[in-house]
Structure 1
Amino acid sequence: MAQAFDPHVHAAWAKFCQTLSPESVRLAAVDWASHLALSPGRQLDLAWLAWQEAVELAATIMQPSSEVTPSRDRRFAAAEWNNWPFHVWRKAFLLRQNWWEQAVRGVWGVSQHHEDVLSFLARQWLDITSPGNLWCTNPTVLQRTAGLWGANFAQGAQALAADVLRKLQNGPLPGLERYTPGQQVAVTPGKVVLRNALMELIQYSPATGQVHPEPVLLVPAWIMKYYILDLSPHNSLIRHLVEEGHTVFCVSWKNPDVSDRELGMDDYLKRGMFEALDALANIVPDAHVHVAGYCLGGTLAAIGAAALSRNGGNRLKSLTLFAAQTDFSEPGELGLFIDESQVSLIEAQLAETGYLKAEQMAGAFQMLRSYDLLWSRMINQYLLGEATELNDLMAWNLDTTRMPARMHSQYLRWLFLEDRLSEGRYPVDGRPVSLNDITLPVFCVGTETDHVSPWRSVYKLHYLTNTDLTFVLTSGGHNAGIISEPGHPHRHYRLGTRLQGMPYTDPDAWFGAVPEQQGSWWPAWLAWLQAHSGAPVTPPAMGSAAYPVLGDAPGQYVLVK
């Protein structure tokens, strides 16, 4: 049939447009423009808003600098932006940004998704025109240039040339060699006790004479390397757990290639979490397990816990979720890239390549945080001449992974597009699982500025389960909010517990009722784990006859690029 030719065309189109669907954008634009054309009243309102903003800008032009109110927008927080004419350029930009935000919102008949897409694209376009991105309209850059007699531009030009050359040669960023897994990061002592085609299981050496009898199994997401949980010794969650008397196991996922294209969500559940639990049952016999999952690993842990509960299993002691969604109906800005057209385009490319490239995932996240990950870096490095010093978290973020074709398609369709998990339609062994079957105590962490798993979306677990649920909302984002070791400055969190049978409280009411506490949330989680653990016992042996030691941590899979 002639239709058999279409997938090749679709794959070529996906490659050309970098897997960002122009059709999705066009549909959103047509939806907005056609409905706005039928709304003359709305057009008049927008014209009136433009007039009001023009009057406000004119008043700003005449306003003395001494009366200028500092901006709350962190892009323009520097004191120099309060001086003339910079405060005028700042005001003009913010007014233009406000007008477009009002223009794409609230138009009769336009879908919420299309509003969100256009709002996001308008922000991306406006960011390009920000006065902070040009040397001649950025007062901080001009001040630095005057103070250094232009040396900052010379330094920036050198940095730009080095970045271009490194990109052409596909070379690493300077400083990455200081964060090699097994040498500077991922150095908590341990042994690999299981290796299959999908993951390695690491058992960490005890650091105390006695340990709690229930081991902790960490299930990270496979869209990242596991050692975000074992960064440098001072901020390693794994080391912290071990030093507090816990026996810790962690899954280290394989970085898949084209031969793994048929790996699906079921494979990650069964060959990942379930086989790890089998190993723990052999190494630490008769012990119930504290399972903790991070991001997509947390979603998988919730699916696994629900499946075990459905089957009458009692292998788990508790469930902890770090920045993990179980309801995907409101996934935040990540949902901008997920609709039928977008997913179909991704699937077309996956059919050709067998996996999703790490750069594509990183590019999507970069667009979500364009100022933090793109513009601010370019300003600092190329205009201000400030070298970017890598830290361990930044280096880990550059150590990217790929996504198997089948799994990524199921992940996008089953969880995002169809929201099967929250609706009790997610299949395990051919039968749907329900999160309401989970009777374990649950500890759930959301982060305030999370662009990947918005905390209000994470909070929805409250109405999907009817078990004891302790919810923590911590400062920071998807990664920095979780890696929040004691002693880290400027950290705070809120903690509240909903006991089984208590009525539901919506997230905003919860936020207003629960007091803010200063410091790291890690000690609160450790106290919660201890409250759900037995009296300390002698540490178990490293591995067992059935699961012999295969090598030292961090293992082999984490080193595969």
Structure 2
Amino acid sequence: MIGSTSAIDRVFHYALAKQTGGVSPAALMLCYMDWALHLSMAPGTRLQLGWKFFTDAVALQRYTLATMTSGDLSAGDCPPPAKADRRFAHEDWQRFPFNVMQQSFLVWENLWDAATTNVHGVSKEHEQAVNFLARQMLDMVAPSNFIATNPELLDKTTREGGFNLMRGAMNLLEDKQRNAAGLPPAGVEEFKVGKTLAVTPGKVVARTRLMELIQYSPTTGKVHPNPVLIVPAWIMKYYILDLSAKNSLIKYMVDQGFTVFAISWKNPDESYADTGMDDYRRLGIMEALKAISQIVPNRKVHALGYCLGGTLLSIAAAAMARDGDDRLKSMTLLAAQTDFSQPGELELFVNESQLAFLEDMMEERGYLSSAQMAGAFQLLRSNDLIWSHMIHDYMLGERTSMMDLMAWNADPTRMPARMHSEYLRDIFMGNQLAEGRFHVDGRSIALRDITAPIFVVGTETDHVAPWRSVYQINVLSDTDVTFVLTSGGHNAGIVSEPGRKHRHYRIATSRHDTPYVGPETWHRTNPPKDGSWWPEWAKWLRAGSNEAVQPPKLGAPNVGYPALCDAPGTYVFE
């Protein structure tokens, strides 16, 4: 009887998830009730909010009267838009009455920000969630989203006699049809994997049920002796590091004289439902290292992990260090967290209520779909990824130009149910890796056992792996750590090739025998440098290398690793 009732609950949750985008209503209600009850029992806070509302309303009235009579846009004490808020960047927002509309919205935004923060007694997680939800609701009704209150939209609609709206309606219809048919966004057809993307020459030299290992063809007469292994996250296709020739990190490293191997993960279906974190470690990283040890024998490996691949690499490296396996010469982590005590805004989507909801959803399919994951990431940057897209494509009637990074982003992957549940429960929520409670082969591991030097890259505007959270590796490790903070976000900050304009980074090395420096002090004492961080990484890898050697052959058929097919392999097309 119990099993049948649980099945009813799962079916109900799955049906409900289709309507809510995978968000648990129970989790939202708990957050709201915590905030609302504590605010109702805080008369002093309510009085303070009432006074803020009154003073802001007076300032807005003063500003409105001044701009109506004299055109003085500096009157009053109204808040300016946030520096990163591009909604009101157009010069016409400074004209009356649009300037007043903008300021009215910003006043409400500031008031709700004050109302949903620093309410005594509300848990930090619930406070962040309520504040986030308030911002989402305000973003929906921002004056920039409507024709009558957006001067740029109004001007274009008037000049074109509404034809921009007709084009926008056609764009919307096309996008809906593509989405219903399971097709990628418009413009993606210009980018083809193996033709315009992921074109660095190489061979697949090993394959398991979870990954293909690609070895890239050398482009230099001699190479550095220690090979590089790239471990991407299986939440994304690997070729984010091998986009176009101009911005491929893999091609850049090959041209710098490194022997590069990269893992291309399998895109799992329902048959992979019981595949766990340790399967990815064993059949991914450890099998790749086994193959590399045969193809390039007696050479230690520089291992790089990106995002979730970096977390997995940290787990593998700690287990190897515990067991006396010294095949790693160094470890590089790109936008990868090892301590999840400060996980950033993604924490809003991960709690016990939400996780139970997700697990019931995954029980029905055996995996978490890309659409369900994409929804959470879009909400984190709703202004950039939802509302600005709506305005540009559907109201201005212009198509956003497709780029290689956008085409990659439209090539999604899935997450096996067991793996995703283990990751969220043990790593993200439980923080077992940072606390030395995560087990590999039945025994706990600790990151401080890793003795190989570590190179870590965080990105300034990362919503997925906030750089201060990435920086925590300095607390957990007992080896030399070179930390880089680069401009950009989780993806664009990593795909930051030399020569790209408006790029900068900070870099410093913390020795294992020197006192710890906190992230704020580190940021203050290390000034930015113009350019890309890629040359710094190549220089760091070369510093630990011996003299150059002849390039190894692609694969090693005599020991069981023949060249199976050309790069980018077969798994990337799934």
Shorter-chain TM-score tier? over 0.9
Shift of 1:15: 3.3
Provide the C-alpha distance between the structure 2 equivalents of 1:7 and 1:203, rounded to a whole number of angstroms: 46
Deviations 1:162-190 (A, max 9, x none): 22232333333222122111111000000
Q: Which residue is equivalent to 1:122?
A: 134
- Which one-letter code corresponds to 2:486 in the other structure? T
Q: Is the 8 A contact 1:292 1:322 kept in 2?
A: yes
Matched residue type, 2:128: D
1:558 paired residue number: 572
Deviation at 1:3, TM superposition (A): 5.3
Any idea what SS the aligned residue of 1:75 has? Answer: coil
- Structure 1 Cα separation of the partners of residues 90 and 347 of structure 2: 33
Distance 1:249 1:172 in 2: 29
Alignment of 1:216-227 (within 5 A): 216-227=228-239
Match of 1:76, as an amino acid?
Answer: F
Is the CA contact (8 Å cut-off) linking 1:36 and 1:43 kept in structure 2?
yes
**Secondary structure at 1:425 match in 2:** coil
SS at 2:496 equivalent: coil
Q: Indicate the residue corresponding to 2:73 in structure 1.
A: 68
Partner of 2:43: 40
Query: Following the alignment from structure 1 to structure 2, what is the Cα–Cα distance between the partners of residues 306 and 135?
Result: 56
TM-score by length of 2: 0.96
Match of 1:549 in 2: 563
Secondary structure of 1:76's match? coil
The Cα of 1:4 is off from its aligned counterpart by: 3.9
**Other-structure match for 2:531:** 519
Note the alpha carbon deviations across 1:382-403, whole angstroms, 9 max, x for none: 1112111110000000100000
SS in 2 for 1:293: strand
Shift of 1:547: 0.4
In structure 1, what is the equivalent of residue 22 of structure 2?
Answer: 19
Mapping of residues 227-246 of structure 1, within 5 Å: 227-246=239-258
Where does residue 319 of structure 1 map in the other structure? 331
Per the TM alignment, residue 279 of structure 1 is displaced from its structure 2 partner at its CA by 0.3
Helix, strand or coil: the match of 1:207? Answer: coil
- SS of 2:400 mapped into structure 1: coil
Q: Identity of aligned pairs, percent?
A: 53
Q: Which runs of 5+ in 2 are unaligned?
A: 75-79
Map 1:150-299; keep pairs closer than 5 Å: 150-299=162-311
TM-score by length of 1: 0.98
Corresponding letter in the other structure for 1:341: S
| Other-structure match for 1:361 | 373
TM-fit CA distance, 1:335: 0.6
Aligned to 2:413: 401
Displacement of 1:142: 1.6
The residue identity in structure 2 corresponding to 1:2 is I
Q: What residue number does 1:138 align with?
A: 150
Please give the per-residue CA displacement for 1:14-73, whole angstroms capped at 9, x wherever unaligned.
431332111111111111111111111111111111111111211121122743257443
Distance 1:534 1:23 in 2: 58
- Alignment partners' CA distance in 1, 2:11 and 2:303: 39
1:450 aligned residue: 462
Residue of structure 2 in register with 1:8 after alignment: 8
Q: Distance in 2 between matches of 1:157 and 1:2?
A: 50
Alignment of 1:281-430 (within 5 A): 281-430=293-442
Question: Any idea what the Cα deviations from partners look like across 1:105-142, whole Å, max 9, x if unmatched?
Answer: 11111000000000110011000100000011001112
Question: What is the CA–CA distance in structure 1 between the aligned matches of 2:408 and 2:181, rounded to whole Å?
Answer: 21
Give the Cα separation in 1 of the matches to 2:251 and 2:92.
44
Shift of 1:353: 1.0
Asked whether the equivalents of residues 14 and 21 of structure 1 are also in contact (C-alpha less than 8 Å), the reply is no
Q: Tell me, in whole angstroms, the C-alpha distance in 2 between the residues paired with 1:296 and 1:170.
A: 26
SS at match of 1:67: coil
Q: Distance in 2 between matches of 1:328 and 1:485?
A: 29
Shift of 1:150: 2.9
Which residue identity lines up with residue 547 of structure 1 in the other structure?
Y
What displacement does 1:78 show? 1.4
Shift of 1:198: 0.6
Distance 2:148 2:180 in 1: 29
User: 1:252: Cα distance to partner?
Assistant: 0.3
User: Following the alignment from structure 1 to structure 2, what is the Cα–Cα distance between the partners of residues 376 and 85?
Assistant: 22
Do the aligned partners of 2:184 and 2:410 also contact (CA within 8 Å) in 1?
A: no
Residues 205, 213 of structure 2: 8 Å contact kept: yes
- State which drifts further: 6-15 or 444-453: 6-15
- 8 Å contact kept, 1:136–1:142: yes
Structure 1 gaps, min length 5 = none
C-alpha distance in structure 1 between counterparts of 2:228 and 2:184, whole Å: 35
C-alpha spacing 1:11/1:496, structure 2 compared with 1 (3 Å)? farther
Secondary structure at the aligned position of 1:64 is classed as helix
Structure 1 counterpart of 2:390, which letter? M
Out of 14, 28, 31, the residue aligned to residue 28 of structure 1 is 31
Aligned residues: 560
The CA distance in 2 between the partners of 1:352 and 1:381, in whole Å, is: 35
Q: CA offsets per residue over residues 280-335 of structure 1, 9 Å max, x none? A: 00000000000000000001111111111111111010000000000011110101
